[in-house]
Structure 1
Amino acid sequence: MARSNKERTEATRLALIEAARRLFVEKGYAETATPDIVAEAGVTRGALYHHFEDKKALFRAVLEREGEAVAAHIEERAVRSKSPREALLHGASAYFDAMIKPGRTRLLLLEAPAVLGLESVVAIDRQNAEATLKAGLSDFLGAGANTATLQALTEMLSAAFDRAAIAIETGADRTTYESAIADLLDGLVRA
Structure 2
Amino acid sequence: MESTDTKHTQRSRATRAALIAAARSLFAERGYAGVGTEEIVRAAGVTRGALYHQFRDKTDLFDATVQTVEAELTERIAGQVMTTATDPVEALKAGARAFLDAFAEPDVERILLLDAPGVLGWRRWREIGQEHGLGVITGALEAAMAAGAMTTRPVPPLAHILLGALDEAALMVAHSDDPGATRTEMTEALEHLVEGLLVPSADRAD
Alignment of 1:92 with 2:89, yes or no, is: no
Alignment of 1:181 with 2:190, yes or no, is: yes
What is the TM-score when the length of structure 1 is the normalising length?
Answer: 0.84
Tell me the CA shift for residue 190 of structure 1.
Answer: 5.2
Of 152, 156, 177 in structure 2, the residue corresponding to residue 151 of structure 1 is 156
State the partner residue of 1:70.
73
**Structure 2 letter corresponding to 1:31:** G
Alignment of 1:172 with 2:191, yes or no, is: no
State the partner residue of 2:47.
44
Deviations 1:75-126 (A, max 9, x none): 1022232211011112112212322332212321232122222222222111
SS at match of 2:11: helix
Of 34, 37, 41 in structure 2, the residue corresponding to residue 34 of structure 1 is 37
Alignment of 1:132 with 2:136, yes or no, is: yes
**Structure 1 letter corresponding to 2:169:** A
RMSD: 2.5
- What is the CA–CA distance in structure 2 between the aligned matches of 1:152 and 1:172, rounded to whole Å? 30
Aligned runs of 1:1-16 on 2, under 5 Å?
Answer: 4-16=7-19
Of 123, 127, 132 in structure 2, the residue corresponding to residue 123 of structure 1 is 127
What is the TM-score when the length of structure 2 is the normalising length?
Answer: 0.79
Cα pair 1:84 1:140 within 8 Å, conserved: yes
**Structure 2 letter corresponding to 1:179:** E
Tell me the CA shift for residue 156 of structure 1.
Answer: 2.6
**Structure 2 letter corresponding to 1:34:** T
- What is the CA–CA distance in structure 1 between the aligned matches of 2:72 and 2:140, rounded to whole Å? 18
- What is the CA–CA distance in structure 2 between the aligned matches of 1:120 and 1:145, rounded to whole Å? 31
- What is the CA–CA distance in structure 2 between the aligned matches of 1:85 and 1:37, rounded to whole Å? 43
Runs (5+) with no aligned partner, structure 1: none
- What is the CA–CA distance in structure 2 between the aligned matches of 1:120 and 1:102, rounded to whole Å? 22
Runs (5+) with no aligned partner, structure 2: 1-6, 201-206
**Structure 1 letter corresponding to 2:61:** L
- What is the CA–CA distance in structure 1 between the aligned matches of 2:106 and 2:27, rounded to whole Å? 11
- What is the CA–CA distance in structure 1 between the aligned matches of 2:152 and 2:59, rounded to whole Å? 38
* Structure with max Cα Rg: 2
Alignment of 1:25 with 2:28, yes or no, is: yes
**Structure 2 letter corresponding to 1:180:** A
State the partner residue of 2:3.
none
- What is the CA–CA distance in structure 2 between the aligned matches of 1:138 and 1:119, rounded to whole Å? 26
- What is the CA–CA distance in structure 2 between the aligned matches of 1:124 and 1:185, rounded to whole Å? 23
Count of aligned pairs: 188
